[in-house]
A and B are shown apart, each in its own frame.
Chain A
Amino acid sequence: MSANSNSESSGDGAKLGYRPVIHGIGLGLALAAGWLLLSGYFQFLLLALGAGSVVFCLWIAMRMDLIDHEGVPLHITWAALRYLPWLLWEIVKANIDVAKRVIAPSLPIAPSLFDAPVSQKTDLGQALYANSITLTPGTVSVDLDPGVIRVHALHEGAADGVLEGEMDARVSAVEGQQ
């Protein structure tokens, strides 16, 4: 999300368990599943075309150096799936809160722009955190630098919610799974 997004992806690959073959196979399986689910046809010709497309896409991804821990984040998939229900519930609560404020005749808002600490160490983790903040109505991530995120909040409750750091800790826990 920030200017340094690409600079670190090659350097810290090794310590994040960078295994090109595993990630390549993972991407291939995901692409194949995507083809089967979206087409729904199981004739030989279409399956062969699908297999060809998967191989072609893998080849392009390899040439573009996209098959790494960031492009194919297999290592956090399970942790991210366990994080999702909590995030969705937060989104539901924030939605109802913002909807009430928008409708209320007195328009109870107090927008602010502030910096909050970011504890994730990888670009992937920081992007996940910034997107989680934006996805929750009432807070939007405006700028992201290493270690600090600038957030626009619609009212003080939303700002305090970010500064409390529960979402930050949960995203860091997702990132910690490898």
Chain B
Amino acid sequence: MIATALDILSWILLLAGCGFVLIGAFGIWRLPDFYSRLHPAGLTDTMGAGLILLGLLLQAETAMVAIKLLIIAVFLLFTSPTTGHATARAALAAGLRIWHAPGAANSAPKGKDDQT
């Protein structure tokens, strides 16, 4: 009984994780420029990977497997923002301009300078 419930919960988490990965991929295709595409890319490695790891955690048969899954989660928590920041910083250093919504050329919040 409990095993079935855990199995169902695990499947829900796995499918929800896959959903976030798909939405992330769709977003990368749909959004207009490099910088805005970084945000849906973030969906895949936070909620996408997180929910899939959580779902797998419920399938783990030994503590050893569970610990390894948790360690993967911790690694992702450090590596994904590092790579995201490095990519964005490289684009800025290369002089890539950001895309603004049409008619909102100076939409930077609260009077902050938009320096691109």
Contact = CB atoms under 8 A, between A and B. Distances in A.
Contacts of A102: 23-24, 26-27, 30-31, 40, 43
Contacts of A130: 81, 85
A134 B84 contact: yes
Given A102-B31, A109-B31, A111-B35, A137 B108 contact: no
B100 A111 contact: yes
A99 interface: yes
Contacts, number: 138
Give the size range of B's interface with the partner: 35 or more
B85 A98 contact: no
Going nearest first, the 9 A-B pairs with the smallest beta carbon separation are: A102-B27, A114-B112, A134-B81, A137-B42, A131-B81, A95-B47, A159-B109, A142-B88, A154-B39
B100 to A, nearest CB: 7
B39 A138 contact: yes
A152 B98 contact: yes
A156 B109 contact: yes
A174 to B, nearest CB: 15
A137 B40 contact: yes
A37 interface: yes
Contacts of A116: 112
Interface in A97-121: 98-99, 102-103, 107, 109-116
A1 interface: yes
A113 B116 contact: yes
Interface of B: 20, 23-24, 26-27, 30-31, 33, 35-36, 38-40, 42-43, 46-47, 50, 64, 67-68, 71, 77-78, 80-82, 84-85, 88-89, 91-92, 98-101, 104, 107-110, 112-116
Interface of A: 1, 37-38, 40, 91-92, 95, 98-99, 102-103, 107, 109-116, 130-132, 134-143, 150, 152-154, 156, 159-160, 163
Main secondary structure of the interface of A (DSSP, over half): mixed
Given A135-B77, A143-B89, A152-B38, A98 B27 contact: yes
A141 B92 CA distance: 11
Nearest to B26: A102
B77 A160 contact: no
A25 B107 CA distance: 51
Contact of A112 (B68, B71, B108): B108
